[in-house]
Amino acid sequence: MVTLRAARVLHVETGEFEEPGLVHVDGDRITRAGADTGGDVLELGDVTLLPGLMDMEVNLLMGGRGETPVLSMVQDDPPLRMLRAVGNARRTLRSGFTTVRNLGLFVKTGGYLLDVALARAVDADWIEGPRIVPAGHAITPTGGHLDPSVFGALAPGIMPLSLEEGVANGVDEVRKAVRYQIKHGARLIKVCASGGVMSHTGTPGAQHYSDAELRAIVDEAHRRGLKVAAHTHGADAVRSAVEAGIDCIEHGFLLDDETIALMAERGTFLVPTTALIEGMDVSRAAPELRAKAAEVFPHARSVVARAAKAGVRIAVGTDAPAIPHGRGAQEMVALVERGMEPLEVLRAATVNAAELIDVDDRGRVAEGLLADLIAVPGNPLDDMSVLADVRFVMKGGKVFRNEPR
């Protein structure tokens, strides 16, 4: 057993501080938070202990050192992606994010679910990284937002994806595509329900799949106990996704108040990925993609405050590498800047995220939960940017970062 001693512990479910902050860890679990019981003590200094953060939209198989902007995302082969992913996973963990959802491969893999393999490597302690909830291949129609062949004019030779790799059309095909992901280890399903900004798919808000196809995707996933996340921008496309039973909307940059109210009524989560509006470098993108960004991004700035006010459940997601891996604090700072209360942002990265992925063993500093803990200087309720200066990271009782100052 080891006792972590810090200046304070923040209990995100209540917003209350405990001073001094004492957390007792035995194996991979928190055994007690509170009074000193003796034994080995790890002195962390003048920092705030928090539960490990969770990022509900990343793609660890994209981005990272040595990647060519845009084209690497659709051209690089699976071994190169996996090698980069090792570094991305390590940076993500060391930045304080101890759990992530990896939301959707859209590259030629031969049908292998690379994020499932990455999750298994982390779980086996082969590599350092956060706990990964993998989605396998994103489900998208031919020519849809995550069909890489739409980049063919810029990168001749891109190979079309198979049904197993996520490109599916019609009710029967989308059912089979979902079943394939589940068979090979996916723990949630990602679907492209509308167009996007950074792809040659036409209007970002246009609905990609028919209502019948969306219902079939949800039916297959829910019958197997998996949730469905939908890349969606336009209000009409979001409305169709929510009515089909989609559990979580990613982005939602063009949401209107009527659709926000429907999401609140149905309990549909929103992962706003709002920091990328300023953080993503689109300067080297194709002119038509820059034009879409200029049109869509300004609308996105008001979505977070309107959704939070309406009671929509919000979870933190960065869409990394739209902002670089390891800089997830940027999203949390942006959520405060968009109008969320700091405590609500912390809950969006902890207790809300835990609810979204259907786990009750993390997201709080409490007895019996996983010892996924981080420490930052100062008070994040006063200054969310302190989350960019993570001094200590523990996952499952194992220390991955300890840099007292």
Q: What is the pLDDT of residue 34?
A: 63
Do 110 and 214 reside in the same domain of the chain?
A: yes
92: CATH: 3.20.20.140
34: CATH: 2.30.40.10
Do 343 and 370 reside in the same domain of the chain?
A: no
Radius of gyration of the chain (CA): 21
Domain with 372, as residue range(s), is 2-51+363-402
Name the phi and psi angles at 45, rounded to 5. 85, -155
39: left (phi over 0), alpha (psi -120 to 50) or beta: left
Closest CA to 95 of 320, 278, 280: 320
CB 372 within 8 A of CB 392: no
Residue 184's CB is within 10 A of a number of other CB atoms, namely 16
Do 336 and 259 reside in the same domain of the chain?
A: yes
234-275 confidence digits (pLDDT tens): 999 999 999 999 999 999 999 999 999 999 999 999 999 999
Do 345 and 369 reside in the same domain of the chain?
A: no
* Rounded-to-integer distance, Cα 398 and Cα 404, Å: 17
Q: What is the pLDDT of residue 66?
A: 67
3-state secondary structure of 235: helix
Do 319 and 376 reside in the same domain of the chain?
A: no
Do 299 and 385 reside in the same domain of the chain?
A: no
Q: What is the pLDDT of residue 63?
A: 86
CB 377 within 8 A of CB 385: no
Give the CA angle between residues 131, 321, 201 to the nearest 5°. Answer: 120
Intervals of the chain under pLDDT 70: 33-38, 66-75, 149-157
Per-residue three-class SS string for 150-203:
HHCCCCCCCCCCCCCCCECCHHHHHHHHHHHHHHCCCCCEEEECECCCCCCCCC
Q: What is the pLDDT of residue 151?
A: 66
Do 90 and 45 reside in the same domain of the chain?
A: no
Closest CA to 54 of 106, 93, 25, 85: 93
First-to-final CA distance of the chain: 24
Residue 251: CB partners within 8 Å, gap ≥ 6? 231, 232, 233, 271, 272, 273, 300, 319
Do 190 and 299 reside in the same domain of the chain?
A: yes
Q: What is the pLDDT of residue 216?
A: 99
Q: Mind telling me the catalytic residues?
A: 190, 319
* Rounded-to-integer distance, Cα 241 and Cα 219, Å: 12
Q: Produce one character per residue of 270-307: b if its CB has 16 or more CB atoms within 10 Å, e if not.
A: bbbbbbbbebbebeebbeebeebbeebbebbbebbebb
Do 294 and 304 reside in the same domain of the chain?
A: yes
Residue 362: CB partners within 8 Å, gap ≥ 6? 51, 52, 54, 98, 99, 354, 369, 370, 372
Do 210 and 276 reside in the same domain of the chain?
A: yes
Q: What is the pLDDT of residue 370?
A: 99
Q: Produce one character per residue of 335-354: b if its CB has 16 or more CB atoms within 10 Å, e if not.
A: bbebbbebebbbbbbbbbbb
Give the CA angle between residues 212, 214, 218 to the nearest 5°. Answer: 115
Closest CA to 88 of 50, 115, 123: 115
Do 37 and 129 reside in the same domain of the chain?
A: no
Do 258 and 339 reside in the same domain of the chain?
A: yes
| Domains of the chain: total | 2
Closest CA to 138 of 72, 96, 199: 199
CB 119 within 8 A of CB 85: no
Sheet holding 131-134, edge to edge: 53-58, 97-102, 131-134
Among candidate residues 340, 356, 372, the one where a domain is terminated: 356
Give the CA angle between residues 255, 259, 260 to the nearest 5°. Answer: 75
